[in-house]
Amino acid sequence: MSVKLTDENGKRDRAGLFLPGCRPGPGRPKGSKNLFNMTMKEALEAAFWQAGGIDWLVRLAREEPRAFASLLARLLPKEVDASVTVTEHAPPDRIEIVIVDHNPETGDEIH
């Protein structure tokens, strides 16, 4: 099987992989932003504002709560490094139970 070079320097094979003995270049400098990610984020932000911005998010939360929750879950950190110290345990002053039901005709909450 012969290897056909696709790189003008003769360092890569047909699949674009470096040939044995050839070292890759330095790559993107540390700390520099990935241009594709920056462009995609800017495009998503523009689409967000064209779709209605915050009003669109509120509408999404009301009309498609699962989609809104999924979006929210992707934005929240997966782990939180926190230290919690409990110094005093005080009993609650008041306990309140709220029952929320939805009116099937209007979709409004009934308290």
Per-residue pLDDT of 85-101, as tens digits, reads 888 877 778 888 777 67
Q: Quick check: helix, strand or coil at residue 41?
A: helix
Between CA 52 and CA 42 the distance in angstroms is 16
What is the pLDDT, as a whole number, of residue 51? 94
Q: Residue 58 pLDDT more than 80?
A: yes
Q: Residue 1 pLDDT more than 50?
A: no
Contact residues for 57 (Cβ-Cβ < 8 A; gap 6+): 68
Q: Residue 55 pLDDT more than 80?
A: yes
What is the pLDDT, as a whole number, of residue 90? 76
6 — pLDDT class (breaks 50, 70, 90): very low
Entry field: residues in the chain: 111
